[in-house]
Amino acid sequence: MSLQVMMQQLSGGMVTTVMIFVLTLVFSLPLGLLISFGRMSKNIVLRTLTKVYISIMRGTPLMLQLLVVYFGPYYIFGINISSAYRAYAVIIAFSINYAAYFAEIYRGGIESMPKGQYEAAKVLGYTKAQTFFKIILPQVIKRILPSVTNEVITLVKDTSLAFSIAYAEMFTIAKAIAASQKSMIPFVAAAIFYYVFNFIVAALMEHWEKKLSYYN
């Protein structure tokens, strides 16, 4: 197999990896915020449920969660699953896993805000929703951005776990080509891709962090 053909095959995996990364963030970031609200709720039932959910998601391997989401419908409900479901299973598993981590990051940022800001906003006539989205959330985003950046970088590498349900992302394709060609080149190409992808993500997050800095 020529290097050109190999790179063409790997490029499909690269696109899939980027898709997993983007869709996971699209779903897990807002879901994490909703879960953090539940975690801070005064309703003890809701607070307990979200606490248990976060504990399970953070306390079990993502690979195991992928397997449960993919095979669960068949083994639990007897629903036949198709190969097309693999893509949905990957996004669902990644989203609910990362939402748990983002929820705790959000919670830490929200609870670190001084109570005086809520009181001042109330005096000025702001509703609770206006206070949160116009005053609190922008400050929270700035405070939690370094922690979010760490999780986002980890996500880039975790996309390779999709191989556990035979979903053809970058690592899966690289492993298949390496096995068939008995060559390390696909692994080297995959390593370079992950490194460059992570470098770009880290640079973008750092730029965003500096842009939000109050001291620029």
Length of the chain: 216
Every domain of the chain and the residues it spans: 3-212
User: CA-CA distances (angstroms) from residue 66 to 30, 31, 70, 96, 126?
Assistant: 21, 18, 6, 10, 43
Q: What is the CATH number of domain 3-212?
A: 1.10.3720.10
User: pLDDT tens across 57-93, in order?
Assistant: 999 999 999 999 999 988 888 888 887 888 899 999 9
| Spatial distance between the Cα atoms of 180 and 80, rounded to a whole number of angstroms | 31
3-state secondary structure of 125: coil
Give the model's pLDDT for residue 188. 87
| Spatial distance between the Cα atoms of 9 and 182, rounded to a whole number of angstroms | 16
Give the model's pLDDT for residue 36. 95
Q: Using 50 as the pLDDT threshold, list the residues of the chain that sit under it.
A: 215-216
Give the model's pLDDT for residue 101. 96
Give the model's pLDDT for residue 163. 84
Task: Identify the DSSP state of 165.
Answer: G
